[in-house]
Chains A and B, each alone.
Chain A
Amino acid sequence: MNSPTAIVEAAPPIDEVGVNERVARLFTRSIKKEAKLRALTMTLSMLDLTTLEGKDSPGKVKQLCYKAAHLHDVYPGLPMVAAVCVYPSLVSVARKALAGTDIKVASVATAFPSGMTALKLKLEEVKQVVEDGADEVDMVLSRGRFLRGDYAYVFDEIAAVKTACGPAHLKVILETGELVTLDNVRRASDLAMAAGADFIKTSTGKVSPAATPPVVLVMLEAIRDYYFRTGRKVGMKPAGGIKTAKQAIQYLVMVRETLGQAWLTPDRFRFGASSLANDVLMQIVKQTTGVYQSGDYFSID
């Protein structure tokens, strides 16, 4: 296997102007009627319904978990979301609340959102959330180490967290808002995948900008190249700032035309969002009734 530095050096250069143009062209896709309805339903099934606030409490998480399984019961046939994403201390609450459903429990870990603590503590945290019942662990990349070129540390850290995860799936948050350049996004993606990430994820949601279309496109292309090189299909999760159904559909168009059928599933593509669900629900109802309903008809949990 290549050394972490070799992996970074092998990453192809990224031309930002070209990426922006490709994104603009993908965004001209016009998604209407049954294609729109299908995209909206798919979006719901790919949702990591998220609450990551210092003021989160067991009560709040329980309510969110109920919403996750009952998005809009007056409209039958809707899917459940893919996962509920919470802070470590609330994993056991979520686990209990979601018992009997197929909804996964995801937990952020590794001193989220900054990751500025010792590896030993990070690993302990990861083991704890898995023990508490997390199916998926969202770790943060050590951006400081990455930016100063300590790729071996970053690689080893991810690999160690992956081991600590055991059966749980590992999502690696690159925090692209702090990596700044698309070249860095590509290198970090390659590094994270090689170190064992099951998913790569754009952002914590705590840094601006969070997920942006050019960043997501570069990550999807990295996943495609990695798949051809290794045969392993790594998942993708844009997170932060995705608030509207329109944005979600645009991301799905990007996935469809970059990675195709195999990635258009909750196993390989997720949205990390807290307020996206209701806009999607409102659009779904509008697609079938022809009129927009008041926001008051959609539950806020």
Chain B
Amino acid sequence: MTKEKKRLKVANPHIDYDTVWTYAPAPESTDHIHLKRRYELFINGEFVPPVKGKYFATVNPATEEKLAEVPEATGEDIDKAVAAARSAFEKVWSPMPPAERGKYIYRIARLLQERAREFAVIESLDGGKPIRESRDIDIPLAAAHFFYYAGWADKLEYAFPGRKTRPLGVAGQIIPWNFPLLMAAWKIAPALATGNTVVLKTAETTPLTAMKLAELFQDAELPPGVVNIVTGGGKTGQMIVNHPDVDKIAFTGSTEVGKYIRKALAGTGKRYTLELGGKAANIIFEDAAVDQAVEGIINGIFFNQGHVCCAGSRLYVQESIAPEILRKLKDRIATLIVGDPLDKNTDIGAINSRMQLEKIESYVRIGKEEGGAIFQPPCKLPAKGYWHPPTLFTDVSQSHRIVQEEIFGPVLPIQTFRTVDEVITKANNTPYGLSGGVWTDKGAKIFKVTKQIRAGVVWANTYNKFDPTSPFGGYKESGLGREGGLQGLLPYVELV
């Protein structure tokens, strides 16, 4: 602190962001959104009620109001969905000329682009993420994934030189609630491009954009049974995993469920990819571009309320610039706008569910009990709904639980380090290995450090950048297999 204090003439250095000029509400209109009061299962190209007739509500986490009801699919429904997928695989989708398959996927991509606004608003309503993100990131990226894999459909012969590809059959896909439509696109697009058919289960709290996607598949005249979408909770997912006629499981979600899937599938011969939790190290070196690094820290941890498996959720700052970075971080956090996800100026929206909010709050409690120093900017949270202010913790160590465990919320533990070796050791000192970030103005240091970080994705001087051409996936308990890019084709094909 002393060096920084000596450098600063201003006694209490902070910027007064409590300005006379403030932003008026700028809510995105919902007039054009048509939600049904009740959705059905999408099986064999049609919306059908669940056999057992059970439904559950999906709520808007910003208001706690019910948006719609969706079915809780049971074993009978999964049987029907898998049978439809099997039949479509054998009779229609795998025999179809690859270029024709590509045309369908292109059509899906185009329709998604045309209806981007509608999908973005529903994504924010159902999941609580700021409209700025669903509009600028989730939906365009989802469309980009369909476009990218549509291109592969008739070029698979060239994907793996010397080898031909054969589809696996029926892919069972289970997706999380943090990027509902984007994760559906990550899963469905490569499966279809390679000639597989799909049974996809949405997350319990965010089924609506997938239901809209099912409507879009109808509009695209995708042959019945090629994609089947079911809704439900953990039990429904379990039935897909254990269904004997499913050839491959693709799962994105918690490490805990990932472990269950590995056990359940052991010896079955089913292929699987798992994209699980993370606790990424975001490393700021003293020679970094300071203001841009601060922005990278913000983007790393507060993107999507911190509900991001690859979030930069462990910050390491070199000791010599730690006071400056911390001061600037606190100033920057004061400008973050927490509130209505549909307001175009919102930076941090609603926490996805009450359950998740309670989990985050319990970690904040643990952090305080363990002696961490907490910082939260003054911000007014709405009375109804699930909210959590952006939160920093200093005075923590590798031994603190908030440093070790995935919080999946806008909470950032901050540690300092002195040498390159020290920070690499600490960055790798985690059961996870999904992602990481390195900030330095020195090119050589970027290569030296990133090579030694055991993580699937490491960003240099940026964070949370996604592209359909780039493979994504983890080491260790962060998962198995890759999604995206050329590598993302491999889990869906047999090489012959």
Q: Which A residues contact B (CB, under 8 angstroms)?
A: 12-15, 17-19, 21-22, 28-36, 38-39, 42, 221, 224, 227-231, 252, 256-262, 264
Contact = CB atoms under 8 A, between A and B. Distances in A.
B287 A18 contact: no
B16 A261 contact: yes
A21 to B, nearest CB: 7
Contacts, number: 97
A17 B136 CA distance: 18
* Across the A-B interface, the 6 shortest Cβ-Cβ residue pairs: A18-B292, A30-B26, A15-B289, A35-B24, A30-B344, A13-B441
A252 B21 contact: yes
A256 B293 CA distance: 20
Interface in B255-293: 287-293
A250 to B, nearest CB: 13
Contacts of A228: 8-10, 13, 327
A256 B20 CA distance: 10
B124 to A, nearest CB: 14
A256 B334 CA distance: 12
Interface of B: 7-10, 13, 15-26, 132, 136, 287-293, 295-296, 327, 335, 344-345, 441, 461-462
B22 A229 contact: no
Contact of A36 (B20, B24, B290): B24
A36 B462 CA distance: 32
A42 B288 CA distance: 36
A15 B441 CA distance: 8
Nearest to A231: B9
A12 B289 contact: yes
Contact of A229 (B7, B16, B293): B7
B289 A14 contact: yes
Nearest to B290: A12
B102 to A, nearest CB: 32
B23 A29 contact: yes
Given A28-B344, A229-B8, A264-B20, 17 more contacts: A13-B441, A15-B289, A18-B295, A21-B462, A22-B291, A28-B345, A29-B344, A32-B23, A33-B24, A35-B21, A36-B24, A38-B21, A229-B7, A256-B19, A259-B15, A261-B18, A261-B19
13 contacts: A14-B291, A17-B462, A18-B462, A21-B295, A32-B26, A224-B15, A228-B327, A229-B8, A252-B21, A257-B335, A260-B15, A261-B16, A264-B20
Contacts of A35: 21-24
A34 B296 contact: no
B16 A262 contact: yes
Contacts of A259: 15
Contacts of A18: 289, 291-293, 295-296, 461-462
A265 to B, nearest CB: 10
Nearest to B8: A228
A134 B24 CA distance: 39
A218 B78 CA distance: 56
B21 A39 contact: yes
Contact of A29 (B15, B18, B345): B345
A13 B9 contact: no
A144 to B, nearest CB: 27
